[in-house]
Amino acid sequence: MDIKEIQNLIKFVAKSGASEVKLEMDDIKITIKTGSDSDTTIVHQVPAQMPQQVIAAPAAETPAAPAAASEPGAPAASDDSKYITIKSPIIGTFYRKPSPDKPLFVEVGQTIAEGDVLCIIEAMKLFNEIESEVSGKIVKILVDDSSPVEFDQPLFLVDPS
């Protein structure tokens, strides 16, 4: 769900006259309150830092939106354990594209096969293409493009299932 959709939703709820709307779907949980005593509109998108359309959040972990929103890190951490972490084999600079004008190697949500190139790590003018040893779906990219990485630093989370 992108910002635009959320904005439209807020407008829709505000017009409808409802004081509170809770919406749950897949990994997203949104609560919109349009209290008459205040003009504030509160939007919780839970878990905010998780990539969308990838993880079906267990329903048991999200009993109420405000509660879950107050500790968004907790469910994410327990979910990560079933993913495979791809780490950097060397020290260098992490690049997500073969060159600045080219498309990204991989994006979140993309299905990858063993042997696919995931990124380039540049060290001492050596450009090292890192191939995937697993197949699955990219759940999370943990490093920003063009930033330095250490040996063994986690780069990607992959859902092997």
Partner 1 sequence: MHLIKLNAIGSTNSYLKHLNATESIADYTAVIAENQTEGRGQMGTIWNVENSKNLTFSVFKDLSEFQFESAFYISMVAALSVYRTLDLFSIPKLNIKWPNDILSENKKICGILIENVIKQNTVNASVIGIGLNVNQNNFDNLPQASSLKLVTGKTYDLNELAITIINQLKEYFLLLSDNKLNVIKNEYESYLFRKNKPSTFKDAEGVMFSGFIKGVSETGNLQVLLEDEILKEFDMKTITLLY
Site for partner 1, rule CB under 8 A: 89-91, 93, 95, 98-100, 115, 121-131, 133, 146, 148
Closer CB to partner 1, 56 or 124, in the complex: 124
Q: Which is nearer to partner 1, 83 or 95 (CB)?
A: 95
- 137 Ramachandran zone, left/alpha/beta (phi>0; psi -120 to 50): beta
Residue 36 CA: distances (Å) to CA of 43, 66, 83, 93, 156: 16, 19, 44, 52, 45
Least distance in angstroms from the C-beta of 71 to partner 1: 36
Nearer to partner 1, 12 or 127 (CB): 127
SS3 of residue 87 by DSSP:
strand
Distance of alpha carbon 138 from the chain centroid? 10
| Residue 60 beta carbon to partner 1: minimum distance, rounded to whole angstroms | 38
CB of 56 to partner 1, least distance (A): 31
- Least Å distance, CB 106 to partner 1, is 15
Contact, 6 vs 27, CB < 8 A? no
Collapsing DSSP states into helix, strand and coil, what is residue 66?
Answer: helix
User: Between 28 and 158, whose beta carbon lies closer to partner 1?
Assistant: 158
